[in-house]
Copies of this chain bind each other. A is one copy, B any other.
Amino acid sequence: MALKKIGVIRTPYKWKAPRQPVEDGECLLEVYPEFQEGLKGLETFRYIYVLFWMDRVEDYSLETEPPWAEGIKVGVFASRSPRRPNPIGLSVVRLYAVEGNRLRTSSIDAIDGTPLLDIKPYVKYLDSKEDANLGWAEDLSDREHLILHLRGIPHDY
């Protein structure tokens, strides 16, 4: 199970990435030229999955405490914490443009320079589940507020 770096993610985040992708802001995916042929037709998709290797993560923890949900402890597989046995990041982002081997996208919750592993089209019907839920976050008091954190939407309170 040997991974190949197919490119690199360029973001404004040098040390600390936001917890979630946010739809304002813009990031860049630089696909190495030897893989550019694989991008043909990608520009027709509104959303894409970006898979990346979170190389700044040093170790994993099976239990995690979401920073915005005090006192809640959940398993790492019930969370999107980066401290996972396999630190593979997965984000759904808007694809704005494909320019040669460079992709302009909405914000990605990754640190600048993060290795890119894969890009997949996000396909209506297959990936968009209208009856999805929020899991353990569904029943928290202060739910509406927490949803802002969960979605990475900036707010003042």
Given contacts A1-B53, A49-B90, A135-B44, contact A39 B78 (CB under 8 A): yes
Q: How far is the CA of A42 from the CA of B127 in the complex (A)?
A: 19
Q: How large is the interface on A (under 10, 10 to 19, 20 to 34, 35 or more residues)?
A: 35 or more
- Is B38's CB under 8 angstroms from A77's CB? yes
In the complex, which of the residues B51, B75, B80 contacts A123, with contact meaning CB atoms closer than 8 Å?
B80
Task: Indicate if the CB atoms of B39 and A118 lie closer than 8 Å.
Answer: no
Is the C-beta of A96 less than 8 angstroms from some C-beta in chain B? no
**Do B118 and A37 touch (CB < 8 A)?**
no
Question: With contacts A6-B85, A41-B136, A85-B35 known, is A80 near B120, CB below 8 A?
Answer: yes
Instruction: Give CA–CA (A47, B127) in the complex, Å.
Output: 10
Question: Does A4 lie at the interface of the complex (its beta carbon under 8 Å from any beta carbon of B)?
Answer: yes
Q: Does A40 contact B (CB under 8 A)?
A: yes
Q: Contacts A37-B62, A77-B38; is A3 near B1 (CB within 8 Å)?
A: yes
Q: What are the residues of chain B within 8 A of A42 when measuring CB–CB?
A: 74-75, 77-78, 135
Taking a contact as CB atoms under 8 Å apart, the answer to whether B39 and A77 are in contact is yes
- What are 6 A-B pairs at a CB distance below 8 A? A1-B5, A1-B55, A41-B75, A47-B133, A77-B121, A88-B118
A118 touches B40 (CB 8 A): no
Q: In whole angstroms, what is the CA distance A40 to B78 when docked?
A: 7
Q: Residues of B contacting A130 with CB < 8 Å?
A: 128, 130
